[in-house]
Structure 1
Amino acid sequence: MKHNMFRNILANFLGRFWSIVSNFLFIPLYIKFLGFESYSIVSFTLVIAGIMAIFDSGLTATLSRGFARNDHDHEYKVRTFVTLESIYLIIVSIIIIVVVLLAPTIAKDWLHTSGNDNMAKFIMIISFDFGFQMLLRFYMGGLLGFEKQVEANLLQMFWGIIRNGVVVLIILFNPSLYIFFLWQSLSTIIFTLLFRFSVAKALYGGYFKTFNFKIEKPVIKDVWKFAGGMLLISLVAAVNTQLDKLTISKLLPIEQLGYYTLAVSLATSVAVLVNPIATAILPRFTALFSSGSRSEALSLFKITNLYTSVIISCVVGMMAVFAKEIIWIWTGDHTIAEKSADVLIYMVIAYSMLAFSVLPYNIAIANGYTKINNYLGIASIFIAIPGYWMVTERWGVYGVAVVFAAVQIISTIVYLYFINKKFLHIKPFAVFCIKDLLLPLILAGCITFVSHYFLARYFFGSRIFSFLLLSVIGLFSLLVNFLIFIPQNEKINLKKIVFNHKLFKK
């Protein structure tokens, strides 16, 4: 079982690692070939994608949880899949139609592009891309529920290569946003079908199981409470994560959204590094809690949380201290580095808070509990809306970043407290937070701060040398944190799992 979980974690890490690498590789090339103004338009389309994700309706999480549960038989899982897939197809179709109809209004009244109707056409094209992305993630959730992380991540990596990598070659010869968006939409549609084939194989035993449109009331009655809670979580989360960008796009020039989104793209790598572990662990949490093995689930949470804390702390320390250097190494543009560095510092703090809450969130989802997420999310919105509006015109994107970070810090502290009180019962909880969360963060920050103090003069020469230097500092920070905070028995267990795994055998 541990070897299985290790394989899944490794597969998820490779998938998420590709996400990070693709960001570093492709975004600078988009800026180079399309221009920064066009990249800013791409940034706004990502905001639309985030809003459309609201309409996930909790069905992806519901499907993944349903497939992972030990107390459901195969027949019930088939009925659940057919019902949820039917509902999902209806939702996605409605969303695409609505976005296409509203595209001219969004372009004219929100972005004030009345003199140019290109933006409206771009929005129409990407409505298909992001609509099918919703379907793709729905089917991927099914694969993850079956604990088929290897297959899911391989498909996701190939999708990223075709969608985001091959398009670079296309815009190199024809730097057109039309071609850019059309290619991405077509790639997503094709890989959505491939993901569907894989889910059908896992569920039915055959790739080409025909689609069966059927909505069963008993299934809806059984899952509606969890799915409804997840819908509200999706709605609240989408508003919380996109409201800052919507405010910037409405009140500031679209180029400012480009600088802000650039920093966000880097900061999200904190969560991207943690999600592979969380994704592999969620089905196990669900199985353990559904079978009443709470003590085993708690032990799994503690050690997994410690590993993720070490990873988060090292990445946050690097990005916060070397913000300007990292953006310059990434883009090769000193102006972009200057304008985005301060935003990145606040964003990496904010997304580290989100990353710290991923495993507790999985504990809640494994137990079908969504109430606290919704309460906190709604409270955050009431703080963020006036906060963004007051700071944007005076301090611009920097003010928005500060408000976003403050909201995430407060929300995460409160969330961890309540999840522990309801499910984990770790005592004393304050000592747990200091030892497992705060101390790794302090140590990583000290290592990177001292490194920056003594080595700052060696940066801004060669980008390759600077990247290698940063890599050495980051690996050193990770190694020191690992040696100090990971218990000796866990180091021995990890060594056994790694070197006994078939990937390392002849």
Structure 2
Amino acid sequence: MKKNIIANVIGKFWSALSGFLFIPLYIKFLGFESYSVISFTLIVAGVMAVLDAGLTATLSREFARKDQLIVEKFRVFKTLETCYFLIIIFTGIFIFFFSDFIAVKWLNLKIIDPERVSLFIKIIGFEAGFQMLFRFYMGGVLGFEQQIKANIFQVGWGMLRNGVVVLVIYFVPSLEMFFTWQLISTIIFTILMRFSILRILSGKYILGFKPTLEKEIFFKIGRFAGGMLLISLIASLNTQMDKLTISKLLDINILGYYTLAISIATGIYILVSPISIALLPRFTALYSKGEKENAKQLYKKINLFVSILLFSFMANIMFQGNKIIWIWTGNSDLAEKANIFLPILSFSFSMLALATIPYDIAIANGYTKLNNLLGILSLFLTLPGYWIATKLYGGIGSAYVFCLVQTMITLVYLYFINKKFLSLTLYELFIKNLLLPLIVCLAMAYGLTFIPNVFKDNRILTFLLIGIFTATTLFSGILIFVPFRELKNIFNLRKNNLSN
């Protein structure tokens, strides 16, 4: 598992780093309103991801099971792949016909022609379909616990799609070229990823595609996939509604500032993602073999470390946000406007990330009922809440609603997942694993702000100083809360029963 976690860390680190490196260049070569348009197209892709219908999670779970033959896994793959192609065709038609309405009636554009934006939406709708396929195939590779291979593809795709495009727009600075290049890059890597997963399943490369829909497969996985569909739908509404509301009610540049803050805050969520990706197949395998106590012990050892990791980065982002955005973009005015949202969003994404490992426990057991129930109940707050808060307080109102919802959902979710599958004491669950690490990390990060920044005009040295502050907070939390022998077990530095 250690190699898988390392591979996932590299993949997710690249995802975070590529955004950190390339977004300022997009703004420099294309202009800030163009970046705001790009940020809206990311919302379109995010909303379309709901049509994943839980099929990626279903495929990964089926491939991770130890009680299923490879022939059965291949049948599941073919049926789910056919479903994906049907979904992509449907969404492509839908986006094509509604792109004009979105560009003209929804967005508050000042400079860019709505007809051009309509074209961009059509392109991104098509590309989002291939993104879904790419992640579907990658989910299958991850289900086989081949994280190294999956992350090689992920990094390669990111370099071609998000990195090389900088050279393209340097010579041809237009959004048309930007979106077209991203589409071509995604198509190429989707085809390569399909070859890879078919090689794993059949031992050979298969070029053709034959539609296959087996009723027996639907009956077998339908309940889990249906639950995942509802989870995806609710998650899409809860995570995209704030940005959709801002794009409708406010100037599109406000969406750009908000999205910049989210780009940094999302890095907190990315921290736990590689650990989660490596753990899900392991939890699935343990529960499928009935080894519940081993799964519980693995959760206990990982979860405390995850809390310290998340809160260390979150606290320093909250207190150093203005400097971080300035280091990133080189624009102090942009940093000031985007930093308004960053402390709230960084806490929000920390709470969202805290639910990731318990979510793996639920998915490993095929349990989606709680996610759906909490998600549906939260809609009664988010649907009117975002609209009213944005109307009254602007973008900051949306940020507060997002934070409130994520905090409430995470705390309730932790309680019920623990009650059903883990049976930790409430002290272990909330005080030891959450509240105490949060207090220590906030206090440490706040105290470090009193150290004067003698490099205030140097972005690189200021970045290094903030990195030292974050590392100090992290290692202090680890030394306070995690015994050394448990820390070794987390990274599998010695053999134990859990690794076996």
Task: State the TM bucket, normalised to the shorter chain.
Answer: over 0.9
Equivalence map 1:58-457=2 (5 Å): 58-111=54-107, 116-208=114-206, 210-427=208-425, 429-455=426-452, 457=453
**What do the CA deviations read for 1:286-331 (whole angstroms, capped 9, x no partner)?**
1111111000000111111122112101111111111111111111
SS at match of 1:454: coil
The 3 A distance-change label for structure 1 pair 110 and 496 is closer
Q: Alpha carbons of 1:105 and 1:496: their partners in 2 closer, same or farther (altered >3 Å)?
A: closer
Counterpart of 1:92 in structure 2: which amino acid? I
Structure 1 residues without counterparts, runs of 5 or longer: 500-506
> Shift of residue 480 of structure 1?
1.3
Could you list the structure 1 runs, at least 4 aligned residues long, displaced by more than 4 angstroms after superposition. Answer: 112-115
What is the distance in 2 between the residues matched to 1:430 and 1:395? 37
Aligned length: 493
- Whether the aligned pair in 2 keeps the contact of 1:200 and 1:209 (CA below 8 Å) is no
Query: In structure 2, how many angstroms separate the alpha carbons of the residues matched to 1:309 and 1:15?
Result: 21
Larger deviation, residues 86-95 vs 434-443: 434-443
Aligned letter for 2:390? T
Q: Is the 8 A contact 2:488 2:494 kept in 1?
A: no
The answer (yes or no) to whether the contact 2:262–2:345 under 8 Å persists in 1 is yes
Partner of residue 17, structure 1: 13
Whether 2:488 is the aligned partner of 1:488: answer no
Q: Report deviation, 1:451.
A: 0.9
Q: Distance in 1 between matches of 2:494 and 2:332?
A: 42
Structure 2 contact 2–491 (Cα < 8 Å) conserved: no
Cα pair distance change 1:68/1:209, threshold 3 Å:
farther
Q: 1:493 to 1:379 in 2, by over 3 A?
A: closer
| C-alpha distance in structure 2 between counterparts of 1:431 and 1:299, whole Å | 13
- Displacement of 1:211: 2.4
C-alpha change, 1:291 and 1:492, in structure 2 (3 Å) is: closer
Q: How far apart are the structure 1 equivalents of 2:428 and 2:358?
A: 17
Distance 1:494 1:244, change over 3 A: closer
Q: Secondary structure at the match of 2:26?
A: helix
CA deviations 1:75-133 (Å, max 9, x no partner) are 11111011111111111111112111111111111115696311101111111111100
After superposition, the Cα gap between the structure-2 partners of 1:325 and 1:367, relative to the gap in structure 1 and judged at 3 Å, is same
Q: CA deviation at 1:342?
A: 2.1
Q: Which stretch of structure 1 is more off in the superposition, 466-475 or 115-124?
A: 115-124
Task: Give CA deviations for 1:425-469 in whole Å, capped at 9, x if unaligned.
Answer: 112x234321122222221111111111222x4364110110111
Pair 498,126 (structure 1): closer, same or farther in 2 beyond 3 Å = farther
2: distance between equivalents of 1:498 and 1:325?
40
**Aligned-partner Cα distance in 1 for 2:464–2:176:** 37
RMSD: 1.5
Q: CA deviation at 1:494?
A: 5.6
2:116 is matched by which residue type in structure 1? N
Q: Secondary structure in 1 aligned to 2:340?
A: helix
> Are residues 1:39 and 2:35 paired?
yes
Amino acid of the structure 2 residue aligned with 1:49: A
Q: Is the contact between residue 325 and residue 459 of structure 1 (CA under 8 Å) also seen in structure 2?
A: no
**SS where residue 268 of structure 1 aligns?**
helix
Work out the CA distance in 1 between the residues paired with 2:374 and 2:287: 24
Equivalent position to 2:24, from 16, 20, 28: 28
Report the Cα offset of residue 69 of structure 1.
0.6
Contact kept? 1:66, 1:77, Cα under 8 Å: yes
Contact 1:392 1:400 in 2 (8 A): yes
Q: Note if contact 2:227-2:369 (Cα within 8 Å) is conserved in structure 1.
A: yes
Bigger mean CA deviation after superposition, 484-493 or 171-180 = 484-493
8 Å Cα contact 2:108-2:251 kept in structure 1: no
Percent of residue pairs bearing the same amino acid type? 51
Q: Give 1:502's aligned residue.
A: none
Deviation, structure 1 residue 163: 0.2
Alpha-carbon distance in structure 2 between the residues aligned to 1:166 and 1:484? 44
Looking at structure 1, the residues matched to 478 and 48 of structure 2 have their Cα atoms a distance apart, in angstroms, of 39
Letter in 1 for 2:315: G
Structure 1 residues 417, 203: closer, same or farther in 2, change over 3 A?
A: same
Q: Is the 8 A contact 1:71 1:290 kept in 2?
A: yes
Offset of residue 30 of structure 1: 0.5
CA distance, structure 2, for counterparts of residue 166 and residue 183 of structure 1: 9
Structure 1: distance between partners of 2:11 and 2:492: 24
User: Could you tell me which residue of structure 2 aligns to residue 466 of structure 1?
Assistant: 462
